[in-house]
A and B are shown apart, each in its own frame.
Chain A
Amino acid sequence: AKWADLCKCEELSFCRRNRVTDQTPLEGNLLFPETRVREGSVKAQQVKVKGVVGDSLYAILESRVGNVSTDLVLQVFPLTGGSFRITIAEEQAPLLRFDAKDALKEPFPLGHFDLSPYHDVEATLLWNEGKKLILKYVPFELLVFSNNQSLYPDIVVNHHRLTKLEVLQNHSNHFCAALEETHLANDNISIVENMSTNTKEDSLLQLYCQNAFEETVHGHLDQKKRGLEAVSMDIMFPFGQHLYGLAERATDLSLSFTKDSLYGSVYSEPYRFYNLDVFEYETQKPLGLYGSIPVLYTLEEKSTSGCLWLNAAETFVDIFPSNWSQESSLASHFISETGLLDVVLFPGGKTPQDVFNQYLLVTGRPAMTQRFALGYHQSRWNYRDQMDTLAVNQRFDQFNIPCDVIWLDIEHTNGKRYFTWDMEKFPDPSSLLKRIGDNGRKLVTIVDPHIKVDNDYFVYREAKANQFFIRKQNEEEEYSGWCWAGLSSYLDFVSKKVRNWWSTRFQFRYYPHFGDNLYTWIDMNEPTVFDGPENTIPKSVIHLDGWEHRQVHNMYGFYMHKATYDGLLQSRNFSDRPFVLSRSFFAGSHRYGAVWTGDNQANWEHLRYSIPMILSLQISGMILSGADVGGFFFDPDPELLIRWYEVAAFQPFFRAHAHEDTRRREPWEFDAQTTTLIRKAILRRYELLPYWYTLFAASSSVNCEADFETCGPPMRPMFWEFSYDKETWKEQTEWMIGNALLVAPILEKDSLFRTVYLPPGNVSHQEQWFDLFSTDSKKRSIAQRGFVQVNAPLGRHIVFQRGGTIVPFRNRTRRSTVCMERDPIGLRIALDHDGKAKGLIYLDDGRSFLYESGHFRLAKYLWNSTGTLQVMIHPLGNKPFVGSDIIIEQIVVYGMKQQPKRAYVSSQLNNATLHFSST
């Protein structure tokens, strides 16, 4: 679908009703009435604060239509780590609202509130780590302070008075239904200034009720049996200079204004969250792609904060400028079609890391990765057959190119019946797995959520017998639509019993040939329905637990990911870390594995946008993420392909993949020089693998702050490390790996050089940078800071190491990560201004959970200004594993002020021989 084929806010009644722009200003206080907290209703109940919120729109309705309950309950829960969650829902409602709490790590930890003793006009709440919250009653407003001494709040909820919840009512006495009877529906409702209040109210109510129960969008009729149920809230950041987050879409890292030309908005449409399989998606459009992580970060020099909009329904978000005490600020306005009004606020602190920590405390740490997942992945739709797959496997050895995983797309199945094999093309999958395993490699096969309607297909038969499929609106028949398998039914992953059953599908006895080195890829899980509205399933279909699809849509892929993760975990008796790649995702999906940016294109624009897309996923917790190397659609020329490898080798999930209609493009498919240059980029990945693995272990560690030096996402926006430096705020052509390496690849055709920004540091700390892969050894010494020009013909990787850091590496070329596990490591030590540096390495068996019981090594390295390298081993990591006794074979020090004369080792444990050279 092109941008033009996708729904816009104006075409959807819930968004139309709730959005406010130049063209649709507030209409008095009717549509966006004053919401107030009822005096004396605020109570602290154990750890949450509960208040009753009135809504004057419904007060009008109450007086005019009757039978409308207007009491809403506001709840505020403190969470450990200094964030808190607020929900607003009907006090008594005839129907339930979907609670997206599964996105959070359950049971999510709660902190402790102190409610001020006097709370007649406003309530003050204090909770851990010096955070403060002021709840104002009339009008309702929440002021959040990251520091209780501070005069200015970091977050203000409902500053723009856009908080609203459309109260659920029984259809039989729904006020819109009543309205339809009393006032004939009129298509041309207009509001005129001099209307009488009553007439105006009438007209407004009619406008409001338009399409309450059904609407036709892009030719598809959507019937809404529950009527109006949207929720909306504005969240303002007084210190916001830039906003980040709202993944996934192919837009700039720093979010743009979306509303009015007045503000110089880049987009006139709000950012949209509606998980879709967008065919040949375009860049620089606010459309939502395959996954939704409605988390926002805000940044200025000294302060950061954020929020997570916890709602699985279709959602639009406006970003617009605001103000607070003469400060220019940023605001967001979230509008969801249905669901609980539910938001987690992160008062943050000084750096983006503070917000990230709070976010991960709520959504959980990313799953500990399989080490092989950080290697190179070779995929294609499709390796045709067993012989072809083995030939690809063998070619990696022939060209001495490391590769960890070979992927099989949908054609490996028997007619897209997942969990089966096409026995003509793959006559002996077990032998295939063994041969690939013999090289230390893994195989990944694909599984989709659409199940072919075929009574001879065991998965379909069993799921049908158990009624595990999503049902039509009438709830009587199972829903079916078209996808790869032809007419298919869709498993209801939102239901726990379906998820449990799905997990058992990965038992070796159910999935023939599913073996120790076979892992899983789940795709089309937005879900894709070729003949459905916007290529997905209709919103009105019914889930087993009674939910309409509209309530759960954005979490469908999340639940499938969760069930698949659990399946892999169980099938290997909880001894092997699952590896599951998913296309669709939601906040919290990082607990279950990897994602990629879907069906991108082989052009430079898509290469460039892979960076902000992945960075945005990184800061949203989805740390194992990447883009298809080379671009999925169309054919890259060798230059683009080489440059893409040079970019992706320094991004977390490194997989080459291509559409069925493209030419073969494995590393050896072009000329010898192309093979050499692609190999060189892949080797760079393997060289830095100990560092990547350490960063991933840190992100996954619950003790990260205590045990690791650096706990951010492995691939970081420049602003992550240099939030005080405005130059980095919009940077999206270079990034950091951890806190130590700065990557600045070539992103333009025919380009042989580029400008790199090397942050100079600040008053208290001057940065030093070392050009690691310069062909000129002199250039490897301290680089000029600020904007520097670097020449980079094909094959020249622009990576700078930051002074003060120590980066572990391995420089032996092996077939795969498992073949490297006993190899010695090296350390690259880049000294800071004071001649000091520190860093660490984390090692374990790379695949099991034994690290939890001490089978790991965590070594901290400290280089002091006298030129001594100290090694400190984490006391808990003392049990053995393969490679636990490896040695350091090489130490490279950059930036020594004096030529050292000798080197020696002082240790109670080891004898060591030293050779020493300097350049």
Chain B
Amino acid sequence: ISKVRGADPQKLHLYENKEGFFHCLNSSQKVPYSSLNDDFCDCDDGTDEPGTAACDGSTFYCENIGYVPVNILSSQVNDGICDCCDGSDEWLGYVDCPNRCVQNGKERIEQMLAEVKIIKQGLKKREELKSLSSLRFSELVNKTKLLQVSIHEAEVLERKAKKELHWLEHVLRVIEARDIVANASVGNLSSHSSGDVVTTNEESSNDLGRTHSLQNEDDELNVNSEKTSDEVYKSTMRSDFVLETCQNISKVYTSSHMLLRLQKLFFDFLSKFPVLSNFFKGSQRKIDTEVLKLCISNLKEHLETLRSELEKNRTELERVQQYFSSDYGPENVFLALRDICLEVDSQGYHYKLCLLSHVTQDSINLGKFSQWDSNYTKMIFSDGTPCWNGPARSTVVNLLCGVNETILKVSEPSKCQYHFWMTTCAVCSVHEMKKLRDEANIILSNLNLTKGQKSNMAHKHDEL
């Protein structure tokens, strides 16, 4: 069968004359063979007119020797506009369509060379980006672990310090109570029955009983963290001063029986805390409220430091963990781009695009990163500052293969819906390159070339 105008050569066999009929391609309908390309649409599926514009929805095959063959819409056949580069769509000659295919092919090859060059560079850069991303990923994992450990440790310390503080405060309250009693005894002995003192003693004993239970809890904690605890104490308490002060305790206290008992209990307890007990070493097992107050204040200060440290670490952990909630695409390649901010001035505005994070126009928020499109070529940012009388601003960032991260263009096609175009190596793909190579193959195989031209083009193909 000879050529059928507008028919794809690969489907030529379908256009055979079957006993005087043409069988419509996509239905069981058949029409007289003379209906084929007679400039009147006979098949309901529109397949009898590949070479004319008579059927809606049909296509016309342009051979385009020297370039890429394409199927154009039949509606573009003989409409006075050159669509195929070989001009074959305007076969009625309403308009002069010089053959531009070889020229187009050459231009396209040049263009592809440039594109491939960028893709190649981009792919190389992408490898770097990938390793940077994976490095960053493991850093993040490590950092998470470290933070988790130190948070846990600090939590333990915090609880321990809290208990100690509690206990010291309690001791202080007891001592102060003793002093009140002592003062009262001195100044007003006759008016106080001994029962009152006993009551006080009992209260104190009860308090001490509670202290013991606290102490037990602390013991449990101490098992794991005594050393750390000591180190922290060492570093945080001005021990020389404390020591000196504590050593003076005996000078101040000429005690009563109750005080002695208290002191004993205190030092027994203190013995569980090696560092604290060190403060009192050499003292004559006596305590002074001033020293105690100093100890409490130091401990409070220490607790504050511990807490802010903990808060800092928790915030940091939260920040680090946020990284894991985002999608960084295949092989986490986009991780290294996160938080990279690109800026551009366009049409009187200053735009700032922080990749995978947020976008702003001057001080207006154009959206927070919300999702990717299915093939990781568009970053979608939503929920920005709401427009007056309108929706919240949103942004789509289109990624094109390029060597560096650069914003090419910003536009607002619909009110408050922004579009960015930027280049990045992260989207450069071998697949893209393969497509270009395939296209180049088609162009080259579609060229009727001399030997010299062939080798020249082959050379170009190799470059690809």
A-to-B contact residues, CB < 8 Å: 384-385, 387-388, 397, 400, 424-425, 438-440, 660-664, 683, 811-815, 818-824, 889-890, 915
Contacts A424-B347, A812-B53, A915-B40 hold; do A664 and B413 have CB atoms under 8 A apart? yes
Chain B: minimal CB distance from A879 (Å): 19
Interface residue from B81, B347, B409, B414 paired with A663 (Cβ < 8 Å): B414
Q: Which residues does chain B contribute within 8 Å of A819, judged by CB atoms?
A: 75, 79-81
Q: List 28 A-B contacts (CB under 8 A).
A: A387-B409, A397-B73, A400-B57, A400-B73, A400-B75, A425-B347, A438-B81, A660-B415, A661-B390, A661-B415, A661-B416, A662-B414, A663-B415, A663-B417, A664-B413, A812-B53, A812-B56, A812-B75, A813-B75, A814-B75, A814-B79, A815-B76, A815-B81, A819-B81, A823-B53, A889-B40, A890-B40, A915-B42
The contact string, 1 if C-beta is below 8 Å from chain A, for chain B 408-451, is: 01011111110000000000000000000000000000000000
- What separation, in Å, do the CA atoms of A639 and B159 have in the docked complex? 65
Interface residue from A438, A660, A664, A811 paired with B56 (Cβ < 8 Å): A811
The prevalent SS among residues of A at the interface is: loop
Q: 8 closest pairs, A vs B, by CB?
A: A819-B79, A813-B75, A664-B414, A661-B415, A813-B56, A812-B53, A384-B411, A663-B414
Q: Which residues does chain A contribute within 8 Å of B73, judged by CB atoms?
A: 397, 400
- What separation, in Å, do the CA atoms of A811 and B41 have in the docked complex? 10
Chain A: minimal CB distance from B92 (Å): 8
Interface residue from B40, B53, B409 paired with A814 (Cβ < 8 Å): B53
Contacts A812-B53, A812-B54 hold; do A661 and B389 have CB atoms under 8 A apart? yes
For the complex, count residues of B whose C-beta is within 8 A of A.
Answer: 29
Chain A: minimal CB distance from B70 (Å): 13
- What separation, in Å, do the CA atoms of A915 and B39 have in the docked complex? 13
Q: Which residues does chain B contribute within 8 Å of A814, judged by CB atoms?
A: 53, 75, 79
- Please give me the residue from chain A that is nearest to B347 by CB atom: A424
The contact string, 1 if C-beta is below 8 Å from chain A, for chain B 353-392, is: 0000000000000000000000000000000000101100
Q: Which residues does chain B contribute within 8 Å of A397, judged by CB atoms?
A: 73
Cβ A440 vs Cβ B80 within 8 A? yes
Known: A661-B416, A811-B56, A822-B80. 16 other contacts (CB 8 A): A384-B411, A388-B411, A400-B73, A400-B75, A424-B347, A439-B81, A440-B80, A663-B415, A663-B417, A664-B417, A812-B56, A814-B75, A819-B79, A819-B81, A915-B35, A915-B40
Q: Is B94 an interface residue (CB 8 A)?
A: yes
8 Å CB interface, B194-231 against A: none
Q: Which residues does chain B contribute within 8 Å of A388, judged by CB atoms?
A: 411, 413
- What separation, in Å, do the CA atoms of A822 and B53 have in the docked complex? 11
Q: Which residues does chain A contribute within 8 Å of B390, judged by CB atoms?
A: 661
- What separation, in Å, do the CA atoms of A360 and B415 have in the docked complex? 44
Q: Is B78 an interface residue (CB 8 A)?
A: yes
The contact string, 1 if C-beta is below 8 Å from chain A, for chain B 43-61, is: 0000000000110110000
Chain A: minimal CB distance from B400 (Å): 14
Chain B: minimal CB distance from A667 (Å): 15
Q: Which residues does chain A contribute within 8 Å of B53, judged by CB atoms?
A: 812, 814, 823
- Please give me the residue from chain B that is nearest to A439 by CB atom: B81
Cβ B415 vs Cβ A889 within 8 A? no
Cβ A385 vs Cβ B411 within 8 A? yes
Q: Which residues does chain B contribute within 8 Å of A813, judged by CB atoms?
A: 56, 75
- What separation, in Å, do the CA atoms of A820 and B77 have in the docked complex? 11
Q: Which residues does chain B contribute within 8 Å of A815, judged by CB atoms?
A: 75-76, 79, 81
- Please give me the residue from chain A that is nearest to B73 by CB atom: A400
Q: Which residues does chain A contribute within 8 Å of B413, judged by CB atoms?
A: 384, 388, 664
Chain A: minimal CB distance from B104 (Å): 16
Q: Which residues does chain B contribute within 8 Å of A811, judged by CB atoms?
A: 41, 56
Contacts A438-B81, A815-B81 hold; do A822 and B94 have CB atoms under 8 A apart? yes
Cβ B347 vs Cβ A440 within 8 A? no
- What separation, in Å, do the CA atoms of A662 and B389 have in the docked complex? 10
- What separation, in Å, do the CA atoms of A44 and B21 have in the docked complex? 81
Chain A: minimal CB distance from B409 (Å): 7
- What separation, in Å, do the CA atoms of A814 and B415 have in the docked complex? 32
Q: Which residues does chain A contribute within 8 Å of B416, judged by CB atoms?
A: 661
Cβ A661 vs Cβ B75 within 8 A? no
Q: Which residues does chain A contribute within 8 Å of B415, judged by CB atoms?
A: 660-663
- What separation, in Å, do the CA atoms of A815 and B80 have in the docked complex? 11
- What separation, in Å, do the CA atoms of A415 and B42 have in the docked complex? 55
Q: Could you say which of B75, B76, B94 has the most chain A C-beta atoms within 10 Å of its C-beta?
A: B75
Contacts A400-B73, A889-B40, A890-B40 hold; do A822 and B78 have CB atoms under 8 A apart? yes
- What separation, in Å, do the CA atoms of A12 and B280 have in the docked complex? 101
Q: Which residues does chain A contribute within 8 Å of B81, judged by CB atoms?
A: 438-440, 815, 819
- Please give me the residue from chain B that is nearest to A811 by CB atom: B56
Q: Which residues does chain B contribute within 8 Å of A662, judged by CB atoms?
A: 414-415
- What separation, in Å, do the CA atoms of A861 and B351 have in the docked complex? 65
Q: Which residues does chain B contribute within 8 Å of A424, judged by CB atoms?
A: 347
- What separation, in Å, do the CA atoms of A686 and B39 have in the docked complex? 19
Q: Which residues does chain B contribute within 8 Å of A663, judged by CB atoms?
A: 414-415, 417
- What separation, in Å, do the CA atoms of A883 and B454 have in the docked complex? 45
Chain A: minimal CB distance from B51 (Å): 14
Q: Which residues does chain B contribute within 8 Å of A821, judged by CB atoms?
A: 80
- Please give me the residue from chain B that is nearest to A400 by CB atom: B73
- What separation, in Å, do the CA atoms of A425 and B410 have in the docked complex? 11
- What separation, in Å, do the CA atoms of A662 and B76 have in the docked complex? 33
- Please give me the residue from chain A that is nearest to B409 by CB atom: A387
Chain A: minimal CB distance from B165 (Å): 61
Q: Which residues does chain B contribute within 8 Å of A820, judged by CB atoms?
A: 79
Q: Which residues does chain A contribute within 8 Å of B412, judged by CB atoms?
A: 384
Chain B: minimal CB distance from A230 (Å): 41
- Please give me the residue from chain B that is nearest to A658 by CB atom: B414
- What separation, in Å, do the CA atoms of A439 and B56 have in the docked complex? 18
- What separation, in Å, do the CA atoms of A440 and B76 have in the docked complex? 11
Chain A: minimal CB distance from B419 (Å): 9
Q: Which residues does chain B contribute within 8 Å of A889, judged by CB atoms?
A: 39-40, 54
- Please give me the residue from chain B that is nearest to A661 by CB atom: B415
Q: Which residues does chain A contribute within 8 Å of B347, judged by CB atoms?
A: 424-425
Chain B: minimal CB distance from A398 (Å): 10
Interface residue from A387, A400, A439, A890 paired with B411 (Cβ < 8 Å): A387
Chain B: minimal CB distance from A64 (Å): 59
- What separation, in Å, do the CA atoms of A664 and B42 have in the docked complex? 38
Chain A: minimal CB distance from B366 (Å): 15
- What separation, in Å, do the CA atoms of A400 and B417 have in the docked complex? 26
- What separation, in Å, do the CA atoms of A128 and B413 have in the docked complex? 60
- What separation, in Å, do the CA atoms of A106 and B332 have in the docked complex? 77
Q: Which residues does chain B contribute within 8 Å of A661, judged by CB atoms?
A: 387, 389-390, 415-416
Chain A: minimal CB distance from B79 (Å): 4
Cβ A440 vs Cβ B56 within 8 A? no
- What separation, in Å, do the CA atoms of A814 and B79 have in the docked complex? 7
- What separation, in Å, do the CA atoms of A387 and B347 have in the docked complex? 15
- Please give me the residue from chain B that is nearest to A438 by CB atom: B81
- Please give me the residue from chain B that is nearest to A812 by CB atom: B53
Q: Could you say which of B39, B53, B78, B409 has the most chain A C-beta atoms within 10 Å of its C-beta?
A: B53
Chain A: minimal CB distance from B234 (Å): 67
- What separation, in Å, do the CA atoms of A442 and B75 have in the docked complex? 19
Chain A: minimal CB distance from B437 (Å): 26
Chain A: minimal CB distance from B82 (Å): 9
- Please give me the residue from chain A that is nearest to B78 by CB atom: A822
- Please give me the residue from chain B that is nearest to A890 by CB atom: B40
Q: Which residues does chain A contribute within 8 Å of B409, judged by CB atoms?
A: 387
Chain A: minimal CB distance from B407 (Å): 15
- Please give me the residue from chain B that is nearest to A821 by CB atom: B80
Chain B: minimal CB distance from A279 (Å): 13
Q: Which residues does chain B contribute within 8 Å of A439, judged by CB atoms?
A: 81
Q: Which residues does chain B contribute within 8 Å of A915, judged by CB atoms?
A: 35, 40, 42
- Please give me the residue from chain A that is nearest to B72 by CB atom: A397
Q: Which residues does chain B contribute within 8 Å of A400, judged by CB atoms?
A: 57, 73, 75
- Please give me the residue from chain A that is nearest to B388 by CB atom: A661
Q: Which residues does chain A contribute within 8 Å of B80, judged by CB atoms?
A: 440, 818-819, 821-822
Q: Which residues does chain A contribute within 8 Å of B57, judged by CB atoms?
A: 400
- What separation, in Å, do the CA atoms of A425 and B53 have in the docked complex? 37
- What separation, in Å, do the CA atoms of A384 and B79 have in the docked complex? 30
